[in-house]
Amino acid sequence: MSIEIENESGIDAPLEQILGLANFALQKMHIDAAADIEILLVNENVMEAYHLDWMQESGPTDVLSQPIDGLRPGKPNALTPAGHLGMIVLCPQVAQRQAVVANHSELKETLILIAHSILHLLGYDHVEKEDEIEMFALQEEIVAEFMKAAN
């Protein structure tokens, strides 16, 4: 996988773990190793600009996903073809606040947001309750399996 990550947020972030989770999630979803993805960490002001531009909503948000090639999950014997999955923009400052509310670590919150965004890039959504249940269960499974493998 070609995973480009850049931290422009102004604070330290767990870049190694983010890359590891992204790699793990893409392999779990049977994405061709030649596929690529971009992950950008930004501060709240920059995130607010992305949020307004991409979603026409004001204020900073935790994470945004911008699919490019419309790739979908593959299967064990039929990988998704190579392509550009898209871009993830994450705001660590918002993730830090959410971690406190959720009563778990900032690392776990960050990993949840990355898994969530990767699923969005692969066509998952949570508009309908049924889809939300499926997507959130899958993101939790990805994070739990990754964290267990990392320990």
3-class DSSP state of 4: strand
Domain ranges of the chain: 2-150
- Supply 87's token pair: 């871009």
Global pTM? 0.94
Q: pLDDT tens digit string along 78-106? A: 998 889 999 999 999 999 999 999 999 99
Q: pLDDT tens digit string along 99-148? A: 999 999 999 999 999 999 999 999 999 999 999 999 999 999 999 999 99
* Residues 82, 84, 90: CA angle, nearest 5 degrees: 135
Q: Which CATH superfamily is domain 2-150 in?
A: Metalloproteases ("zincins"), catalytic domain (3.40.390.30)
- Helix, strand and coil percent figures for the chain, each rounded to 5: 50, 20, 30
Per-residue pLDDT at 7 exceeds 90: yes
